[in-house]
Structure 1
């Protein structure tokens, strides 16, 4: 079964690092991508089982959201295999 992917965008590198730490400590997830988008916005993509990704994203939103502006979050439970092309896989 394919792993779920979670997206987290926030406007602060320090808050993004806090969010990643929170996500990794919350559930059994791994970092798939970490990018500076521009204008201080950081995009983090994680993967794991659906419940773990949802829990990690929600906990990071709660924790890092107090530090900076959360731009967006999303969880895709069973991403289509074609999405792997976006990540160079």
Structure 2
């Protein structure tokens, strides 16, 4: 796992695809996967170095807001080993 974990939650698949595309293009991050939370909420997770993940999440936020689908986001630098264990269930896409 990279030095940081970044997540962005959107409402709707279109907003999620916009955010994911922007995150992938904005910096050198690895897409971990996504999770359909339910009721239209979708969370996408990326990993990489802290600066790249922060830039990617910022780009994803801007993209999701353009289509009125941004819900929330987080960047976790150096996630704890317990968090890494949870992330193992998400296979790279």
Residues 1-89 of structure 1: matches in 2 within 5 Å?
Answer: 2-88=2-88
Q: Report the count of equivalent residues.
A: 89
- Runs of at least 4 residues of structure 1 off by over 6 A? none
TM-score with structure 2 setting the length:
0.87
What is the Cα deviation at residue 84 of structure 1?
1.6
Unaligned runs of 5+ in 2: none
| RMSD of aligned alpha carbons | 1.5
Unaligned runs of 5+ in 1: none
Contact 2:9–2:72 (CA<8 Å) still a contact in 1? yes
**Helix, strand or coil: the match of 1:79?**
coil
